[in-house]
Amino acid sequence: MAVAEIKTTLPSHAELMQRAEGLLPALRERAKKTEELRRLPDDTMRDLFDAGLLRILQPKRYGGYGMGWAAHADAARVLARACSSTAWIVSVVGAHAAIAGRLNKQCQDDIWGRSPDQLIATASARANGTMRKVEGGYRLTGHWRFASGVDHSEWTMVTAPIEEDGMVASEAHFFHRALMPTKDIEIVDTWHVAGMKGTGSKDVKAHDIFIPAHRVIGAADSFGRNPPGAAVNPDSYLYEVPFMAYFGNSLLGPMIGATEGAYHDYCEITRVRTSALFGNSVAEQTPVQMRLAETAAEIKAARLLYEDANAFLHQLGLKKQEITHEQKIEAERDRAFVARLCVSAVTRLVRQMGAIGLSDSNPVQRHYRDVTAMATQIAVNWDRGMGPFGRMALGLPTETPYENKKVPVAK
């Protein structure tokens, strides 16, 4: 199918942030409904498409903006002040457009040929599943978890090993990404959770479905340097440079934004709140003021680390340089530290509110649930992020899954 290149007027970074700001009143109004639905309301998805917030990392030839890192996470940071689940769809799921932009042209034509408004879900955790090579492609069977936004997606990506001669190897180079229409798979309603309820991160199952060969790529190849899409979309470094270091930072925008939202909502509530026992102003209590100041400092520290990391990755991409092993370990340390700062901040705020902080209808409680839920993501795991840096600093093997490199001991 021939697909004509779509000409799109590209917004500035500031304009995108203004569009995100404009959605905040509606997102706050829909927050309760979003949690009850356990997915984004249809109106919210329409708003995101209309505002172009799911086109930020989409290739320009398909109506996207093809922007550099990390405009999508910045927009999500704004949205998360009202709704973390909406922000997650824009930042984490929205980044899947950059992955798709690294695939071959025929695959990209399949995705965006009918409409530039597409959400691409990925099921990140394989419970089980294999691909078996057949004429013209593969047969896929399996079960995957955490397909955020899958209810609103037309396309879904999963990762599975190739089965050969009845055997399945565990080595990384046997794992491939497969892209399929969401209508071809079974969505299993498993998303009953304490936080980030609106992401709709359900399980999916494939029952011996056919995947044409052009929609399958080695997982390492799709995230490595110069994948097939680099030649198709030469106007952004994100389709060319190794992508793993970038993708892992996508969730920081929603996490910091939700923490900022908790801070804003806490201040709004506390300014007019009186003590249930004595009727005095809560805002005038010195411990309240001091703990609020500490929270503000943590949020600023998290934001500065986030902005520094994104500026570093953007400059690295503009130069078409790969992140080094040492830089990758430092980046993972900073991601984990940002997450801990955010969790510390929202925990202090909700505890400071006493019994009203327990109410599901309290927006600070919702932000608390969402931030602590996001902090369980492996990309910000404390032990995973901190251990390798400590080993590297002491001249020991880092024991990372991507490289086990010994750093010489300084003399």
For residues 155 and 2, give the distance between their C-alpha atoms in angstroms, rounded to a whole number.
19
Residues 371, 84 contacting (CB under 8 angstroms): yes
Q: What is the pLDDT of residue 398?
A: 87
Q: What is the pLDDT of residue 9?
A: 83
Q: What is the pLDDT of residue 64?
A: 97
SS3 readout for 143-186: EEEEECCHHHCCEEEEEEEEEECCEECCCHHHEEEEEEEHHHCE
Residues 172, 244 contacting (CB under 8 angstroms): no
Q: What is the pLDDT of residue 99?
A: 97
The answer regarding whether domain 120-220 maps to CATH 2.40.110.10 reads yes
Residues 157, 178 contacting (CB under 8 angstroms): yes
pLDDT digits (tens, 9 = 90+) for 42-88: 999 999 999 999 999 999 999 999 999 999 999 999 999 999 999 99
* CATH, range 13-116: 1.10.540.10
Q: What is the pLDDT of residue 166?
A: 61
At 379, give phi and psi (nearest 5°): -65, -20
Burial 100-129 (b: 16+ CB within 10 A, else e): bbbbbebbbbbbbeeebbbbbbbbbebeeb
pLDDT bracket for residue 405 (50, 70, 90): very low
Q: What is the pLDDT of residue 8?
A: 74
pTM above 0.85, yes or no: yes
pLDDT digits (tens, 9 = 90+) for 201-225: 999 999 999 999 999 999 999 999 9
pLDDT digits (tens, 9 = 90+) for 311-339: 999 999 999 999 999 999 999 999 999 99
Q: What is the pLDDT of residue 169?
A: 55
Share of the chain above pLDDT 70, in %: 93
CA distances from 165 to 23, 131, 245 (A): 53, 12, 35
For residues 245 and 323, give the distance between their C-alpha atoms in angstroms, rounded to a whole number.
7
- Token pair for 281: 């102003």
Separation of CA 141 from chain center: 26
pLDDT digits (tens, 9 = 90+) for 95-131: 999 999 999 999 999 999 999 999 999 997 899 999 9
Residues 118, 55 contacting (CB under 8 angstroms): no
Return the SS3 of 271. Answer: helix
Q: What is the pLDDT of residue 402?
A: 55
Residue 342, pLDDT > 50, answer yes
pLDDT digits (tens, 9 = 90+) for 251-297: 999 999 999 999 999 999 999 888 776 778 888 999 999 999 999 99
Q: What is the pLDDT of residue 406?
A: 36
For residues 205 and 185, give the distance between their C-alpha atoms in angstroms, rounded to a whole number.
6
**How do beta strands 175-181 and 120-134 pair?**
unpaired
pLDDT bracket for residue 141 (50, 70, 90): very high
C-alpha atoms less than 13 angstroms from C-alpha of 5 in its C-beta half-sphere? 8
Please name the residue that has the structure tokens 């840096």: 389
Q: Where are the domains of the chain?
A: 13-116, 120-220, 251-393
Q: What is the pLDDT of residue 328?
A: 95
Q: What is the pLDDT of residue 91?
A: 98
- Of the two residues 240 and 172, the one the predictor is more confident about is 240
Q: What is the pLDDT of residue 408?
A: 35
Domain 251-393: homologous superfamily in CATH? Butyryl-CoA Dehydrogenase, subunit A, domain 3 (1.20.140.10)
Query: DSSP state, 248?
Result: T
Burial 351-362 (b: 16+ CB within 10 A, else e): ebbeeebeeeeb
Q: % helix / strand / coil in the chain, to the nearest 5?
A: 50, 15, 35
